[in-house]
Structure 1
């Protein structure tokens, strides 16, 4: 018991403090992802279509001490993002950006905020945070910066509301 308690305390993971599990829909307060896609080098037409569907997609989150799985579902595409909750400068390939990245996962605000930092040397740095606003709403920020010397940066707020029961 003590060992398990120490592991939870060290990692910051505690479902009683931050439980993100569930099915969500995009809240109308969410900002467009178009500027993030632009910095990622995605073309104009694809950005327009992607931004439209990004505000009508569903989101399923499965979250525990080992993994954070985000399944984004839209009419045209489903995207699954796997995050190793124990990542500390963990190397992995970013398929969207087609490059090697290093991921670090931490908790802030006494475990109430999950922070995922992804760095691709001389390309970009992306910081995504997740927090629960209330029993039905979660908030995510995406802070995306190019590190190629151009100093381009965009920060987007996304809100998700619990999906109605089917």
Structure 2
């Protein structure tokens, strides 16, 4: 493979009789234009010194414009509202919210039942059906409690 293209072996020649005829016709037309009083105006270099920089204005883009909207001032309140009271709540066991046949089962209970099914050699799908939950939920509980199934599907 060559680094640069060698034009000497091109299938079409750079100089041909048709090119020479066209060059001569253009030269004659230019000479006739100048003889009839026409003038050629050379324009010269018209490019700018440096191209305009491309700047993305975040305030004008629909993705970020909402971030630059100043917040509306809050209306003045006539009366000072009392501070909210803080109520201490005792911790409650975490319940699993599910659309399964066994609602209200804690994650610890689900995890223990999944561990038993995994020890018996069930797949996550079989274990989920045995417990009465969805396979997706069974896999999530297994991930959360680091339960390893010997078989997958």
> TM range, normalised to the smaller chain?
under 0.3
Which of 1 and 2 has higher RCO (CA within 8 Å, sep 6+)?
Answer: 1
- Structure 1 or 2: more strand by fraction: 1
> Please, what TM-score do these two structures have when normalized by structure 1?
0.18
- Structure 1 or 2: more helix by fraction: 2
> Please, what TM-score do these two structures have when normalized by structure 2?
0.19
